[in-house]
Amino acid sequence: MDRPIAVVGVPMDLGSGRRGVDMGPSAIRYAGLKQRLERIGRTVVDLGDLKVPLPEESHVGDPRLKYLDEIVASCLQLGEIVDGIIGRREFPLVLGGDHAIAIGTIAGVARAEADAAVIWFDTHGDFNTDETTPSGNIHGMPLAASVGRGNPALLAARGGAPPIREQRVVAIGIRELDPPEREALRQSDVRVFTMSDIDKLGMREVMRQALVHVEGAAGVHVSFDMDVMDPDIAPGVGTPHQGGITYREAHLAMEMLYDAGILRSMEIVEVNPILDIQNRTGRLAAELALSALGQRIL
């Protein structure tokens, strides 16, 4: 857990239907991420941003897999970088960008860590495929792709990495699903904790059960979509939905992950500064990374 931290920005908004999340990495960095991590004793190197094409210089292509070629190319590059970071015994901290980048991040994790687990914080299931998507936006497909579901052309973004086993995936904070996506999740082996589960059990118990579920994994990757937060707390996201995780629930979840000593990689995605208020969401993203990486009140 005290490995050097390698920060990678992926300024991509090709996977979403709304512009602006390509500025997310800058917003999180602007919140003082590197300096604040160094103040709690962590060694940090910022590797800068991947070069990602803009929509204006890209081709939409298949309306059910928009910007497929560009997203696949970016994810392949990201997967190699993440694999290399873990191979150097460093901690990858990936800043998005839209959630489609998770295909690349998780592919890199899967190549480097046999039998890795994923804890997925999100309002949405991101479990659509090209056959079920209502929008064609690939940021609604990365969890499905990471477990090996979907169009082979999109699965190629994993670069041959093995899929994550569904039994090794926990999704937390889910509260908005498309009907076919809901049925696919019900029939899958993914462990899902909805917002109703958090209401009934409390975040501490949800996280306890999640950590039990991933026991024995080689390590845990956390994929944190900022839209899992209540929009009153995190307004700067592209797809806000009322009734999300509170500020303290999110920090408790991150603190419990650090205390468990199993976190090996992390990405934070979907910060949209265009829709934010005084970088509130960018600051929160940085604060949650700090809690996951060792910052404590006392």
Residues 124, 176, 267, 276: which is the catalytic one?
124
Asked about 270 being catalytic, the answer comes back as yes
Q: What is the pTM of this model?
A: 0.97
pLDDT of residue 298: 77
Tell me what pLDDT residue 143 has.
98
- Of residues 49, 70, 99, 113, which has the active-site annotation? 99
User: DSSP 3-state assignment of 185?
Assistant: helix
Q: Is residue 99 annotated as part of the catalytic site, yes or no?
A: yes
Residues 6+ apart with CB under 8 A from 278: none
227 is catalytic: yes
Reported as a single tens digit per residue, the pLDDT across 126-171 is 999 999 999 999 999 999 999 999 999 999 999 999 999 999 999 9
Residue 2 binned pLDDT confidence (cut-offs 50, 70, 90): confident
* Active-site residue (options: 139, 181, 221, 267): 139
Q: Which of 113, 126, 181, 230 is catalytic?
A: 126
Task: Tell me if residue 124 is catalytic.
Answer: yes
Per annotation, catalytic residue among 49, 70, 83, 122: 122
Q: Please tell me which residue in 22, 225, 267, 287 is annotated as part of the active site.
A: 225
Which domains does the chain possess?
Answer: 5-292 (3.40.800.10)
Distance of CA 83 to CAs 104, 263, 264, Å? 10, 15, 12
Among residues 249, 270, 276, 287, the one annotated as catalytic is 270
Buried-state track 141-177, b at ≥16 Cβ within 10 A, e below 16: bbbbbbbebbbeebbebbbebebbbbebbbbbbbbbb
Report the candidate in 98, 88, 25, 130 with the shortest Cα–Cα distance to residue 265: 88
